[in-house]
Structure 1
């Protein structure tokens, strides 16, 4: 007779992950909106605000990515479906592109367009695809 053992994940880690995970997506989306506004009216305020939003989004994105890394590759009990792994890799690629975007936004305001806008679109698209994929695909085996 075999018994099923209920495995508990770290409640604190899951709570921190679920609390902080959506915040960078909001910051990066706001930066995209600010980049679009900057393209329309060429006021330097919008691109400087977008650069701050990207920087803050990257700082906040560190903790959920580390927790997700430990959940995916450090735990044998966490669901190891392909959708969870693809979600992790899409988020990681989005963070790397956002780092490049932060460097682009650190330039003069007039030198940000069009690279900054294109990179912001790519970051938001990657995060959006990752969230849709995770919502549509089942998490459990």
Structure 2
């Protein structure tokens, strides 16, 4: 007879949630890289690339934020701060990303250095949210 452990594992992340979570970090990282390229070259097309990457990141993270909000209300009994911290990180990331999109809507010469700072903060928040979101994965032994 096998031993039963009383250890509670966190609820694993849904596969579709994992897919929409995967959009935020690479797109905001790409926006940061294109902002760095614009800062170094002042070729306006890099600012355009960054604007489109931010728009894509906001779209993907909007769906992730919606999913996290539903999970937050659906699983209130969890007694863990992790879902609340995850939702708060996603919400702050989305708001700062939206402000970054508004900054990128200005003339290309007027966006530096503000857009670079906002892109760094947004990318770091996306990394932290992805870290918390994907840390809910668990491996299961198959006998």
Under TM normalisation by the shorter chain, which class is it?
0.7 to 0.9
TM-score, with length taken from structure 1? 0.79
Moved beyond 4 Å, runs of 4+: 133-139
SS at match of 2:14: helix
- Displacement, 1:80? 4.1
- CA distance change for structure 1 residues 61 and 14 in 2, over 3 Å: closer, same or farther? same
Aligned to 1:32: 32
> Which one scores higher on RCO, CA 8 angstroms, separation ≥ 6?
2
Is the 2:51–2:101 contact (alpha carbons within 8 Å) kept by the matching residues of 1? yes
Partner Cα distance (1:137, 1:61) in 2: 18
Q: Structure 1: which 5+ residue stretches go unaligned? A: 1-8
Deviation at 1:50, TM superposition (A): 0.2
Secondary structure, aligned partner of 1:21: helix
TM-score, with structure 2 as normaliser: 0.78
The residue number in structure 1 matching 2:60 is 60
What does residue range 94-105 of structure 1 map to in structure 2 within 5 Å? 94-105=93-104
- State the partner residue of 1:114: 113
Contact preservation (8 Å) 2:25, 2:130: no
